[in-house]
A and B are shown apart, each in its own frame.
Chain A
């Protein structure tokens, strides 16, 4: 009796559920439906007027912060900051909505409006609002207090990140650093020092003195640490370097030459190559226990390992098939399979931090290319081409690549080696300003905010 009622009830419910989509269909069919499947790929027009300030000093910081934000957004290739001379509304009262119409007139989609004030304890406070000009609403607001005025540049990067994140949906990468190799001197006596700079090329500093060669620096994903290969004491070895303390230590006590190091995604392991006779093999070493594990075997050269962001797979290059190609294997070394099948040779694979792509260097017909492919080898796309492009490194959001580009000299001019960046879409290729020749860039994860 009770059960039959229940059954009847559930039957009715089922009928209702089964009929529902039909009725919903009938309703939606009344509205015309239009598919928009084409669009423009253009940078988003944005306005970043100077942040306001009461005092001369505040106004100066306000001006500088706005111009760093503007430059960051412009450099990303995704934004087109409007010329401040075109602004109609010159003074926006902070916190109250701007005159959206006047910003629409100059065809701006978004507006960053901020101010700099001095707190009672003398510290600077920077605040901003991001306005949606067409939606006439505030999209983001943030307030940052500076420990010291010198960190104004970092504040500008943090605001750039916030604006970028809100408008693109992607994590920002402006508050990051690049470690690289600063090169100087003639080709026969090349001095290569470890150096670091902000992502926009500002604040370059040398980290090592230059009396020994340094190569292939890589950032730790979790610590302010760098792993690199150095000819310290004339033996090529992999070293760890702490950015904050300047301490340097060798990684593992391997008998032979170790090179091509990289951190595991959790930062607890180093994966690298070790030369054994005429071959090289890939090893991991646990930084806490010192335990090491060999992942490859056979009479081949296996090198340039890079972990997938989830740590389950490793991509590397190997000549086991007769030519230099890219392979993927499980983290324990099993199931190694080739993924690069295009013409030419492939090397230096680097797994994207967002996991969807592997960047590589390709050599074909004497030209060098930076490209990306999916981890299964499909969808290969070449982003750059030149006399010599190599060694890609990903921005932490997996959106931008930096790499080394060597340009041959003509007549009296020497070869030049510079760091370049390119967007994942293949657009927006541009050089990064460095004090001199620079190579081997490695992008840091976002700098932790305290």
Chain B
């Protein structure tokens, strides 16, 4: 009896201590959370970063070694993001953050002022993102450029190498700098809003069901890299399989995701899949959508 009383007391003490420590953890967590919010904003800097990369790349064109040197230091601080791309630049964009919105513009003017033969091919690839298909397109362009160059100049092979190296490094730096920011930050608020608006356009929840405003459904949507939907999981499978109201609500949510996948844009073009930034695929590979009808059904 006494023994058990002692143990019981010990248990209680343990619970209190653990509760306190977890509380402490909690507060740490809540401290971390606000850090995440500015991270979203950081993605805006991704544009800045890219343009910065272009500038650097152009400047660096003559000395190739330096270009190579840049990516090398970046891998060191990878601890933050699991992916191998340079997280090094994370601190930089923060500093550059404010001017970032102005900076993207220089990207376009750049091609014009540069009269030298090498720049034109180098600029194009920088503007374009990762997709491999487009890389092929570049090859064509490069090939054309080479053919042009071949008759004109005596040492085509040298030029070839130079060009390729130059392009690769520029593309790489651009990609890496984008990815560097993209990976750590996820979707921007405006990108999230665009996705939200696209889905809201198709969501037709069951109305009038008993306590319909409380039928909050969570879906995990898995996307392909082109923005099309690969799979949709209804997260609360227990409710889905046991509650008819929940099932109807969950299915209306799932329909919305599928239904608005392919739609005409305002400018008349047609999109297949959702408009999501391809260079940040890692951050939206899967997204949790919470369908909450309270705001517009709760009026009663």
Contacts and interface: CB of A to CB of B under 8 A. Distances in A.
A11 B204 contact: no
Given A7-B10, A379-B300, A18 B202 contact: no
A227 to B, nearest CB: 27
A168 interface: yes
A60 B199 CA distance: 41
A356 B245 CA distance: 15
A135 B290 contact: no
Contacts of A18: 18-19, 22
Interface stretch (A32-40, A147-155, A230-238, A442-450): A32-40
A41 B244 contact: no
Nearest to B186: A32
Interface residues of B, number: 60
Contacts, number: 136
Interface stretch (A21-29, A193-201, A298-306, A314-322): A21-29
B237 interface: no
Q: Is the interface of B mostly helix, strand, loop or mixed?
A: helix
B259 interface: yes
A32 B40 CA distance: 10
A33 B40 CA distance: 12
Nearest to A169: B248
B210 to A, nearest CB: 5
Nearest to B15: A14
B296 A22 contact: no
A423 B205 CA distance: 16
Given A31-B288, A34-B287, A109 B259 contact: yes
Scoring A3, A7, A109 by chain B CB atoms within 10 A of each residue's CB, the highest score goes to: A109
Given A28-B288, A36-B200, A38-B295, A165 B186 contact: no
A134 B288 contact: no
Contacts of B98: none
Interface string B233-258: 00000000001111111010111101
Given A18-B18, A34-B290, A44-B204, A135 B258 contact: yes
B111 to A, nearest CB: 35
Interface in A417-431: 423-425
A35 B292 contact: yes
Given A25-B29, A36-B289, A399-B208, A170 B245 contact: yes
Interface in A152-185: 165-170
A36 B246 CA distance: 16
A19 interface: yes
A212 to B, nearest CB: 39
Contacts of B18: 14-15, 18
Interface residues of A, number: 45
B272 interface: no
A20 to B, nearest CB: 10
Contact of B255 (A32, A109, A354, A399): A109
A169 B292 contact: no
Contacts of A19: 22
B138 interface: no
A269 B243 CA distance: 32
A42 B207 CA distance: 10
B3 interface: yes
A36 B291 contact: yes
A398 interface: yes
B93 interface: no
Contact of B204 (A22, A35, A40, A170): A40
Scoring B3, B196, B247, B300 by chain A CB atoms within 10 A of each residue's CB, the highest score goes to: B300
Contact of B208 (A14, A167, A379, A425): A425
B195 interface: yes
Contacts of B148: none
Given A40-B202, A109-B259, A381-B300, A398 B254 contact: no
Contact of B251 (A33, A132, A356, A398): A132
B279 to A, nearest CB: 15
A35 B287 CA distance: 11
B22 A32 contact: no
A135 B258 CA distance: 8
B234 to A, nearest CB: 11
A216 B111 CA distance: 85
A399 B248 CA distance: 15
B206 A39 contact: no
B210 A32 contact: no
B214 to A, nearest CB: 12
A354 B211 CA distance: 11
Contact of B211 (A40, A109, A356): A356
Contacts of A354: 210
Given A32-B186, A32-B287, A34-B196, A41 B14 contact: no
17 contacts: A7-B7, A14-B18, A22-B22, A26-B29, A31-B287, A32-B187, A32-B283, A34-B199, A37-B293, A39-B204, A134-B258, A135-B254, A169-B209, A169-B243, A381-B300, A398-B210, A425-B207
Interface of B: 3, 7, 10-11, 14-15, 18-19, 22, 25-26, 29, 36, 186-187, 192, 195-196, 199-211, 220, 243-249, 251, 253-256, 258-259, 283-284, 286-296, 300
Instruction: Report the 3 A-B pairs with minimum CB-CB distance, sorted nearest first.
Output: A169-B248, A39-B203, A169-B245
Interface of A: 3, 7, 11, 14-15, 18-19, 22, 25-26, 28-29, 31-42, 44, 78, 109, 132, 134-135, 165-170, 354, 356, 379, 381, 398-399, 423-425
